[in-house]
Amino acid sequence: MEVALVAVAGRWATLVLREPMHGPASYGELWARLPEISSKVPAERLQVLGERELVARQRLPGFPVRTTYRLTPAGQALRPLLVELYRTGARPAGVQR
Amino acid sequence: MEVALVAVAGRWATLVLREPMHGPASYGELWARLPEISSKVPAERLQVLGERELVARQRLPGFPVRTTYRLTPAGQALRPLLVELYRTGARPAGVQR
DNA sequence: CGGTATCCACGACGATACTG
DNA sequence: CAGTATCGTCGTGGATACCG
Protein backbone atom coordinates (compact mmCIF):
# COMPACT_ATOMS: atom_id res chain seq x y z
CA MET A 1 0.00 0.00 0.00
CA GLU A 2 2.82 2.36 0.84
CA VAL A 3 4.34 1.61 -2.52
CA ALA A 4 1.14 2.50 -4.32
CA LEU A 5 0.56 5.54 -2.14
CA VAL A 6 3.91 7.17 -2.72
CA ALA A 7 3.21 7.00 -6.45
CA VAL A 8 -0.16 8.66 -6.16
CA ALA A 9 -0.34 10.63 -2.96
CA GLY A 10 1.93 13.61 -3.62
CA ARG A 11 0.29 16.96 -4.19
CA TRP A 12 -1.08 17.24 -7.76
CA ALA A 13 0.21 13.75 -8.50
CA THR A 14 -3.18 12.51 -9.65
CA LEU A 15 -3.63 15.45 -11.99
CA VAL A 16 -0.13 15.08 -13.37
CA LEU A 17 -0.85 11.42 -14.05
CA ARG A 18 -4.21 12.05 -15.62
CA GLU A 19 -3.00 14.15 -18.53
CA PRO A 20 -0.72 11.62 -20.24
CA MET A 21 -3.21 8.88 -19.40
CA HIS A 22 -4.99 9.32 -22.72
CA GLY A 23 -1.92 9.94 -24.85
CA PRO A 24 1.29 11.96 -24.85
CA ALA A 25 1.19 15.38 -23.23
CA SER A 26 3.67 18.22 -23.27
CA TYR A 27 4.98 19.92 -20.18
CA GLY A 28 3.08 23.09 -21.01
CA GLU A 29 -0.20 21.25 -21.47
CA LEU A 30 0.28 19.54 -18.17
CA TRP A 31 1.06 22.74 -16.39
CA ALA A 32 -1.81 24.64 -17.94
CA ARG A 33 -4.32 22.21 -16.43
CA LEU A 34 -3.04 22.77 -12.93
CA PRO A 35 -4.69 25.68 -11.17
CA GLU A 36 -2.27 28.57 -10.62
CA ILE A 37 0.74 26.61 -9.61
CA SER A 38 4.46 27.25 -9.79
CA SER A 39 6.29 25.50 -12.60
CA LYS A 40 8.46 23.76 -10.03
CA VAL A 41 5.68 21.55 -8.79
CA PRO A 42 4.90 19.52 -11.93
CA ALA A 43 8.61 19.38 -12.69
CA GLU A 44 9.26 17.81 -9.32
CA ARG A 45 6.36 15.38 -9.67
CA LEU A 46 7.46 14.36 -13.15
CA GLN A 47 10.96 13.80 -11.92
CA VAL A 48 10.01 11.29 -9.26
CA LEU A 49 7.45 9.68 -11.57
CA GLY A 50 10.27 9.38 -14.09
CA GLU A 51 12.66 7.86 -11.57
CA ARG A 52 10.04 5.29 -10.69
CA GLU A 53 9.53 4.66 -14.39
CA LEU A 54 5.88 5.49 -14.32
CA VAL A 55 6.24 8.18 -16.97
CA ALA A 56 8.70 8.37 -19.86
CA ARG A 57 10.16 11.61 -21.19
CA GLN A 58 10.80 12.26 -24.87
CA ARG A 59 12.50 15.39 -26.16
CA LEU A 60 11.54 16.53 -29.60
CA PRO A 61 14.24 18.06 -31.84
CA GLY A 62 14.12 21.74 -32.84
CA PHE A 63 13.72 25.02 -31.10
CA PRO A 64 12.10 25.90 -28.83
CA VAL A 65 12.54 22.60 -27.06
CA ARG A 66 9.46 20.45 -26.72
CA THR A 67 9.06 17.48 -24.49
CA THR A 68 6.28 14.97 -24.38
CA TYR A 69 5.44 12.72 -21.52
CA ARG A 70 3.77 9.37 -21.81
CA LEU A 71 2.93 6.71 -19.29
CA THR A 72 4.98 3.56 -19.15
CA PRO A 73 3.15 0.23 -18.77
CA ALA A 74 3.76 0.49 -15.03
CA GLY A 75 2.19 3.93 -15.15
CA GLN A 76 -0.84 2.59 -16.98
CA ALA A 77 -1.13 0.02 -14.24
CA LEU A 78 -2.09 2.84 -11.89
CA ARG A 79 -5.30 3.44 -13.79
CA PRO A 80 -7.62 1.18 -11.80
CA LEU A 81 -6.32 2.78 -8.62
CA LEU A 82 -7.07 6.27 -9.88
CA VAL A 83 -10.53 5.17 -10.90
CA GLU A 84 -11.13 3.72 -7.47
CA LEU A 85 -9.88 6.91 -5.83
CA TYR A 86 -12.37 8.86 -7.85
CA ARG A 87 -15.22 6.50 -7.08
CA THR A 88 -14.51 6.50 -3.38
CA GLY A 89 -14.19 10.26 -3.10
CA ALA A 90 -17.31 10.87 -5.15
CA ARG A 91 -19.49 8.28 -3.45
CA PRO A 92 -22.67 10.03 -2.22
CA ALA A 93 -22.85 8.43 1.21
CA GLY A 94 -19.10 8.39 1.25
CA VAL A 95 -16.06 9.95 2.77
CA GLN A 96 -16.59 13.35 4.30
CA ARG A 97 -14.78 16.48 3.20
CA MET B 1 -9.53 12.00 -5.43
CA GLU B 2 -8.20 14.46 -2.88
CA VAL B 3 -11.12 13.57 -0.67
CA ALA B 4 -10.32 9.88 -0.83
CA LEU B 5 -6.60 10.48 -0.44
CA VAL B 6 -6.80 12.53 2.74
CA ALA B 7 -8.73 9.66 4.32
CA VAL B 8 -6.14 7.08 3.38
CA ALA B 9 -2.80 8.76 2.77
CA GLY B 10 -1.68 9.78 6.25
CA ARG B 11 1.17 7.83 7.78
CA TRP B 12 -0.08 4.49 9.20
CA ALA B 13 -3.61 5.36 8.11
CA THR B 14 -4.03 2.18 6.12
CA LEU B 15 -2.89 0.02 9.01
CA VAL B 16 -5.12 1.86 11.44
CA LEU B 17 -8.05 1.28 9.11
CA ARG B 18 -7.26 -2.36 8.54
CA GLU B 19 -7.63 -3.53 12.13
CA PRO B 20 -11.29 -2.61 12.71
CA MET B 21 -12.09 -3.67 9.16
CA HIS B 22 -12.94 -7.20 10.28
CA GLY B 23 -14.65 -6.26 13.52
CA PRO B 24 -14.20 -4.03 16.55
CA ALA B 25 -10.66 -3.46 17.75
CA SER B 26 -9.36 -1.91 20.93
CA TYR B 27 -6.83 0.87 21.04
CA GLY B 28 -4.19 -1.46 22.42
CA GLU B 29 -4.73 -4.06 19.72
CA LEU B 30 -4.42 -1.39 17.10
CA TRP B 31 -1.26 0.00 18.58
CA ALA B 32 0.34 -3.41 19.03
CA ARG B 33 0.13 -4.08 15.30
CA LEU B 34 2.01 -0.93 14.42
CA PRO B 35 5.77 -1.39 14.35
CA GLU B 36 7.45 0.46 17.22
CA ILE B 37 5.46 3.61 17.12
CA SER B 38 4.60 6.24 19.67
CA SER B 39 1.12 6.04 21.14
CA LYS B 40 0.42 9.52 19.86
CA VAL B 41 0.35 8.45 16.26
CA PRO B 42 -2.64 6.09 16.26
CA ALA B 43 -4.45 8.46 18.61
CA GLU B 44 -4.03 11.26 16.12
CA ARG B 45 -5.09 9.10 13.19
CA LEU B 46 -8.14 7.84 15.04
CA GLN B 47 -9.12 11.36 15.93
CA VAL B 48 -9.26 12.60 12.35
CA LEU B 49 -10.85 9.36 11.20
CA GLY B 50 -13.43 9.94 13.90
CA GLU B 51 -14.05 13.53 12.87
CA ARG B 52 -14.63 12.37 9.32
CA GLU B 53 -16.95 9.71 10.68
CA LEU B 54 -15.03 6.86 9.18
CA VAL B 55 -14.53 5.16 12.54
CA ALA B 56 -16.79 5.19 15.59
CA ARG B 57 -15.53 5.07 19.16
CA GLN B 58 -17.24 3.17 21.92
CA ARG B 59 -16.12 3.30 25.54
CA LEU B 60 -16.80 0.24 27.63
CA PRO B 61 -17.76 0.69 31.30
CA GLY B 62 -15.47 -0.49 34.10
CA PHE B 63 -11.88 -0.07 35.01
CA PRO B 64 -9.40 0.07 33.44
CA VAL B 65 -11.15 1.88 30.63
CA ARG B 66 -11.54 0.00 27.40
CA THR B 67 -12.45 1.47 24.08
CA THR B 68 -13.37 -0.29 20.91
CA TYR B 69 -13.25 1.15 17.47
CA ARG B 70 -15.41 0.07 14.60
CA LEU B 71 -15.80 1.32 11.08
CA THR B 72 -18.83 3.33 10.13
CA PRO B 73 -20.57 2.53 6.81
CA ALA B 74 -18.55 5.34 5.26
CA GLY B 75 -15.43 3.68 6.64
CA GLN B 76 -16.45 0.35 5.15
CA ALA B 77 -16.83 2.14 1.85
CA LEU B 78 -13.05 2.58 1.82
CA ARG B 79 -12.52 -1.14 1.51
CA PRO B 80 -12.39 -1.41 -2.29
CA LEU B 81 -9.89 1.42 -2.33
CA LEU B 82 -7.64 -0.33 0.18
CA VAL B 83 -7.87 -3.52 -1.85
CA GLU B 84 -6.91 -1.65 -4.98
CA LEU B 85 -3.99 0.01 -3.19
CA TYR B 86 -2.74 -3.40 -2.19
CA ARG B 87 -3.18 -4.85 -5.66
CA THR B 88 -1.41 -1.95 -7.31
CA GLY B 89 1.51 -1.93 -4.93
CA ALA B 90 1.95 -5.69 -5.09
CA ARG B 91 1.62 -6.03 -8.86
CA PRO B 92 4.69 -7.92 -10.14
CA ALA B 93 5.38 -5.70 -13.15
CA GLY B 94 4.14 -2.83 -11.13
CA VAL B 95 5.12 0.31 -9.39
CA GLN B 96 8.75 0.52 -8.33
CA ARG B 97 9.92 0.86 -4.78
C1' DC C 1 9.54 26.30 -24.09
C1' DG C 2 10.99 23.50 -20.43
C1' DG C 3 12.95 23.36 -16.92
C1' DT C 4 16.69 24.28 -12.41
C1' DA C 5 18.36 26.96 -8.10
C1' DT C 6 17.43 29.00 -3.93
C1' DC C 7 14.99 30.00 -0.17
C1' DC C 8 11.03 30.09 3.14
C1' DA C 9 6.87 28.50 5.80
C1' DC C 10 4.08 25.27 7.50
C1' DG C 11 2.42 21.04 8.94
C1' DA C 12 3.13 16.14 9.74
C1' DC C 13 5.76 12.93 12.26
C1' DG C 14 7.72 11.27 16.27
C1' DA C 15 9.93 11.07 21.15
C1' DT C 16 9.21 11.87 25.81
C1' DA C 17 6.67 12.84 29.69
C1' DC C 18 2.46 13.00 31.97
C1' DT C 19 -2.86 12.16 33.25
C1' DG C 20 -7.75 10.20 34.32
C1' DC D 1 -5.58 1.04 29.54
C1' DA D 2 -6.29 4.89 26.71
C1' DG D 3 -5.07 8.63 25.74
C1' DT D 4 -3.18 14.25 26.05
C1' DA D 5 0.66 17.87 26.26
C1' DT D 6 4.70 19.65 24.73
C1' DC D 7 8.46 20.16 21.97
C1' DG D 8 11.86 19.40 18.21
C1' DT D 9 12.93 17.87 13.45
C1' DC D 10 12.35 17.19 8.83
C1' DG D 11 10.08 16.97 4.44
C1' DT D 12 6.89 18.92 1.23
C1' DG D 13 4.84 22.55 -1.02
C1' DG D 14 5.28 26.85 -2.95
C1' DA D 15 7.17 31.68 -4.57
C1' DT D 16 10.60 33.89 -7.01
C1' DA D 17 14.37 34.27 -9.86
C1' DC D 18 17.17 32.50 -13.29
C1' DC D 19 19.13 29.37 -17.37
C1' DG D 20 19.85 26.56 -22.01
Q: Position A3: which residue type? A: V
Q: Residue B39 CB closer than 7 angstroms to strand D? A: yes
Give the three-state DSSP class for B12. Answer: coil
Contacts of B73 in chain A (CB under 8 A): 93
Per-residue pLDDT band at A27 (split at 50, 70, 90): very high
- Domains in chain B with CATH codes: 2-90 (1.10.10.10)
- Reply yes or no on whether the pLDDT at A34 is more than 90: no
Q: Are strands A66-71 and A55-60 parallel, antiparallel or unpaired?
A: antiparallel
pLDDT by residue (tens digit) across A57-95?
Answer: 999 998 899 999 999 999 999 999 999 999 999 986 556
Q: What is the pLDDT of residue B38?
A: 87
Q: What is the pLDDT of residue A92?
A: 66
Tell me whether the omega of the peptide bond preceding residue B73 falls within 30 degrees of 0, making it cis: no
Nearest-Cα residue of chain B relative to residue A2? B89
Q: Are B91 and B49 in contact (CB under 8 A)?
A: no
How many contacts does A have with B, using Cβ atoms within 8 A? 100
Q: Are B48 and B10 in contact (CB under 8 A)?
A: yes
Q: Consecutive 10-residue runs of chain B (97 residues): their mean pLDDT?
A: 91 94 94 86 92 93 93 94 94 61
Q: What is the pLDDT of residue B34?
A: 86
Cβ distance B52 to A96 less than 8 Å, yes or no, reads yes
Q: Residue B27 CB closer than 7 angstroms to strand D? A: yes
Per-residue pLDDT band at A28 (split at 50, 70, 90): very high
Q: What is the pLDDT of residue B46?
A: 94
